[in-house]
Structure 1
Amino acid sequence: MDPRIREHAETIVDHSVDIQEGDRVVIQLPSEAEDLAVALHELCGERGAIPVWIAHSERASRAYLRNGGTEYETPDHQQALYEETDAFIIARGGANVTETSDVPPENNAAYRRAVKPVQEERLSKRWCLTQFPTSGHAQLAGMSTEAYQNFVWDAVSLDWDAQREFQAEMVDRLDEASEVRIVAGDETDLTFSVEGNETLNDYGEKNLPGGEVFTAPVADSVEGSVYFDIPLYRQGREIKDVRLTFENGEVVDHNAAVGEDLLTEILETDDGARRIGEFGVGMNRAIDQVTYNMLFDEKMGDTIHLAVGSAYKETVGEDNERNESAEHVDMIVDMSQDSKIELDGEVVQEDGTFVFEEDEAAGSEKDEAAASET
């Protein structure tokens, strides 16, 4: 077994979900990630936890969704398992990333509505979503299998305490702000309120890799237009060059150069799917290329992302209404040039550089100058 798999498992167990003696743990992995399952079971055994491995198969999911039509019942037996579970460990890594590309979008939307209570139950527990590097994901990223393995293991093995400290400044600034404005190029000028909502610091706990700060816009406050210039993969299909226009928090116009029919189906899943549930700022500069995997792409430094659909409960203040939806689809804007993030009218990032990075650099230069004078 590659020793990096054991290291990855230790990070998940000790840092991400903090497995303790007696914990009931559900491990959901594809068969391609069996080595990770073995390492996780070893660690659960050492810590006195009780694991159950659920093998996830995209082929099996495709077979069910292609033949199940557009009416699904909530799987109560799965929900019962989740209710009795303390921690979830989920890894992506199937052999064919386009396996579900021929599932009708309306079937997917109907199924997501049916399993929404199950997902809500899982999100209420300790959980970690991560990645196992496979040749299928390497191919999607345009990388060799070895290069992709190195990319994944490097991204999940950062100094997460240092990453948390780096991101804390942005968390504090967002928590103190009322209005956010995003400007990028000629096509993105978007404003929204975050008044009363909470900003979370993602440093490799629920997502591994981590590397973002995120909050929820006030649901009806989003105004303006946004062009997502970084493509995404959803339901085994590409969606590219997405443009959304918002009025009173709702998408009133949308288009995409590729995958517009799928985008339309996503937005029509339910009322909440036409509103923004998450605003995130990518701050992990160890992730420096698009791999068509949102778990990594949304964390890239010099990017922001917005998710249509559900808001995480932890980000919504007591006095604000939470946007609820069976969907949560992240889309990314490159902020590395001709762009800025404003908080209450003050620029906090311009062309990918945060103002607090500039302040820190200036302070270091002064210290060096003072040292040389003495």
Structure 2
Amino acid sequence: MDRKIVSKIVKASGVSSGEMILIHFWGEDADKEIANNFMTAVADTGATPVLLQQSRSVNRDIFLTAKESCYNEQYFDLFTKFDAVLDVFAYQPVILGFEIDPDKFELYRRYMAQLFSKLMNCKRFTQIRIPTMANAEESGLDPQDYILRMEKAYDVDYAAVYEACRQAKDRFEGVDKVLLHTGKDCELSFELADRVWHIDAGDGDLPCGEIYIAPVENKTWGTVYFEAFYLDGTKYEQVLLHIANGQIRGSSHPEITAFFEKQPLENKVVCELGFGMNPNVTELCGYTVLDEKMCGTFHIAVGANNMFGGTNAALEHIDFVGHGTILVPGEQ
């Protein structure tokens, strides 16, 4: 990822002059140029960059020898001073990647939990997946295809994406109910009373470009159709989902029905409705991080939504992306 794109990302995240910004970098020294580019871009805005690197190899060595007295509250209080966090990962965060004794791993686990409890209290927390070979492995895409798609998605006019998101959000302000039409005769109704639409245009989960809301959990009803449906590493075609009382009750595919029958109640709840707004994501590929940002698509999710205005706490959050038409009853 070149410096021009990094600079665009930093500005879109909301970094401003005089702020203290933590670059929380997940990667080895071989990839540290990425962190350096973010440090430089932050400084260019007039803000102060501070680097915290999470290297798997270094963390392994540290926590093989770390004692209970290490990383006390005085250490974690250092992270209450930042205005924002740029969580930049060259590979999957948190995973240590090495086997260590259970008591040492428990110390590492507690360290991460306490660290994130402080970082999540900052005014802004932006997650940035870097287009690397390591991240490509997680996506399920061909590595070069992944890198090209991600770099294209990042290289957008962030101000234009924000404006498109704002206009889409304004359409739904004060609307208590919407209808999603898909396929030939499928309709899914969502109750939205007292829920808030959110914009992701660079200050949340990148690549960005969506508006989303937590619908009232027990009031989503109807059917929804997906031309392509990705679940648990498998692609299904021409999928119909049946939803009642806000829960997935069945599907036109027995395998999908069986999957949800095995899930706890909280993982069946329709927890999100969103619309993609990134013009540089131009086709679905099965990688949700990109697919849900594609212009002209909708996505629904099942699972947790208590982190963005809902009431459903769950261990899972799974998105499904499709094409359809959204209607506001009474809209001309």
TM-score, shorter chain, exceeding 0.5: yes
CA distance 1:135–1:210, shift in 2 (3 Å): same
Once residues 37 and 18 of structure 1 are traced to their aligned partners in structure 2, the CA distance between those partners, rounded to angstroms, is: 16
1:324 to 283, 299, 312: 312
Q: Which amino acid aligns with 2:83?
A: D
Does 2:328 correspond to 1:340?
no
* 1:132-188 deviation line (CA, Å, top 9, x unaligned): 11235557564462x543432222121111222223332111113221111212584
CA distance 1:15–1:191, shift in 2 (3 Å): same
* 1:84-110 deviation line (CA, Å, top 9, x unaligned): 543222234439xxx99xxxxxxxxxx
1:190 to 183, 188, 191: 188
1:273 to 248, 267, 272: 267
SS of aligned partner of 1:301:
coil
CA distance 1:19–1:169, shift in 2 (3 Å): closer
SS of aligned partner of 1:151:
helix
Q: Which residue of 2 aligns with 1:68?
A: none
Percent of residue pairs bearing the same amino acid type: 20
- Greater share of helix residues, 1 or 2? 1
Q: Which residue of 2 aligns with 1:13?
A: 10
Matches within 5 A, 1:178-217: 178-185=176-183, 188-217=186-215
Which TM-score applies when normalising by structure 2?
Answer: 0.71
Once residues 85 and 213 of structure 1 are traced to their aligned partners in structure 2, the CA distance between those partners, rounded to angstroms, is: 27
CA distance 1:302–1:143, shift in 2 (3 Å): same
Once residues 261 and 76 of structure 2 are traced to their aligned partners in structure 1, the CA distance between those partners, rounded to angstroms, is: 29
Q: Which amino acid aligns with 2:326?
A: I
Offset, 1:286: 1.3
Does 2:292 correspond to 1:304?
no
Once residues 311 and 167 of structure 2 are traced to their aligned partners in structure 1, the CA distance between those partners, rounded to angstroms, is: 26
Q: Which amino acid aligns with 2:320?
A: I
CA distance 1:149–1:219, shift in 2 (3 Å): same
SS of aligned partner of 2:120:
helix
Once residues 209 and 53 of structure 1 are traced to their aligned partners in structure 2, the CA distance between those partners, rounded to angstroms, is: 22
Offset, 1:280: 0.4
1:222 to 220, 236, 248: 220
CA distance 1:306–1:289, shift in 2 (3 Å): same
* 1:15-71 deviation line (CA, Å, top 9, x unaligned): 21415545151514233743211212334456452523242659x99xxxxxxxxxx
Once residues 259 and 6 of structure 1 are traced to their aligned partners in structure 2, the CA distance between those partners, rounded to angstroms, is: 46
Which TM-score applies when normalising by structure 1?
Answer: 0.65
Once residues 325 and 81 of structure 1 are traced to their aligned partners in structure 2, the CA distance between those partners, rounded to angstroms, is: 30
Q: Which residue of 2 aligns with 1:53?
A: 52
Once residues 184 and 200 of structure 2 are traced to their aligned partners in structure 1, the CA distance between those partners, rounded to angstroms, is: 30
* 1:177-228 deviation line (CA, Å, top 9, x unaligned): 2211112125843111112222223222213322211112112211123345
Equivalenced residue count is: 301
Taking only aligned residues, the RMSD between alpha carbons, in angstroms, comes to: 4.2
